[in-house]
Structures are given as C-alpha cells and as structure tokens.
Amino acid sequence: MSVPGRGVNPGAAVERYVAVMEGLRADNLETLDTVLSPEARFVDPFNEVRGIAAIRSVFAHGFRQCPGMRFAVAARAVDGHRALLRWRMTCEERVDGVVIEGMSELTLSADGRVAEHVDYWDPASQLYERVPLLGWVMRRIRRRLAAPRAQADE
C-alpha cells in the first residue's frame, strides 16, 4: 500500500471514514463509495472480500441479520497511512440486544481513501456464547483453557 500523497491529511481521512461508518444505514450503503478505494479489501472473522460492491454486500447482509445495526467509534490512533479504531457495534432493534466490541486496522491509499479494513473481535465470547448449547460448550472450553487465578498470598 502506498503512503498518502502530499496534501492528504491522514487524520482527516480517518475522520471522514469514521463519520461514514457511524452514519451507515441499510439505505445509504453507497456512502462507502466516497471513502473506500475501488479495490479495497475488507476482512472480519466471517468475511474476506475485495472491492466496493463486495464490501457493500457484506454490510447489506449485516443490516438484514441485525436490523438497526449501528457503529460507534470510541477511540482512534493514526500513524501515517495506518489507523486503529476501537468501536462498538449494536443491534438496536433485536430483542437479544447484540453488542460487539472490537478494533479495526485501516490502511489508507495515496488519495486518502481506505484501501484495507481489517476487523479484530472475538466471536466466541461475543456471539457463540449466546447460543444455548454452543454457548455452554464455548464457556466450558474457555474455563478449561484459562490460566488459574492467582491467590492473594502468592
């Protein structure tokens, strides 16, 4: 990936991207076109796609599965052509109140648009553990793999 060109303010480019993501709705997915490079790559625990149309399709599917899906960015760090975002995604209209917290690593292209968006979040603890039988199995595995808790006198 190339470093943003002269005149491109990486911080401002990231803020434009954050504004689009926080304002994203099922009926305005075309706003992604303004902040993504044409061959942008998007990766999350369930998807790896390339191109704006494919990325729009991932988000369209997300809105179908999670009506009222909203993103809120709590923190960001920008270093040259890379940025990290700490975010929370909520499904406001679901009875089970799905909330997912994660991080995204962004890579900016020379024109300041996002060339790569890679999400990092834990589907095991934030989704799978909510499914009745699967949740029991996942919690049991987590307890078994966790380090023993330190004793106060150690």
| pLDDT beyond 90 at 100 | no
Per-residue pLDDT, averaged over 25-40, amounts to 97
Which residue in this structure is represented by tokens 């009926």? Answer: 27
Of 101, 110, 117, nearest in space to 51 by CA: 117
| pLDDT beyond 70 at 27 | yes
What is the pLDDT, as a whole number, of residue 94? 57
Of 144, 96, 146, 101, nearest in space to 119 by CA: 101
Q: Which residue has the higher pLDDT, 96 or 73?
A: 73
What is the pLDDT, as a whole number, of residue 9? 96
Distances (CA, A) of 137 to 49, 101, 127: 30, 22, 13
Mean pLDDT of the chain: 86
Per-residue pLDDT, averaged over 32-38, amounts to 98
| pLDDT beyond 70 at 53 | yes
Q: Which residue has the higher pLDDT, 148 or 77?
A: 77
Per-residue pLDDT, averaged over 10-36, amounts to 98
Question: Could you give the percent of the chain with pLDDT greater than 70?
Answer: 75
What is the pLDDT, as a whole number, of residue 115? 98
Domain ranges of the chain: 10-121
pTM for the model: 0.79
List helix spans (H) across 37-122: 52-65
| pLDDT beyond 80 at 129 | no
CATH number of 10-121: 3.10.450.50
What is the pLDDT, as a whole number, of residue 125? 57
pLDDT in tens, 2-13: 566 667 899 999
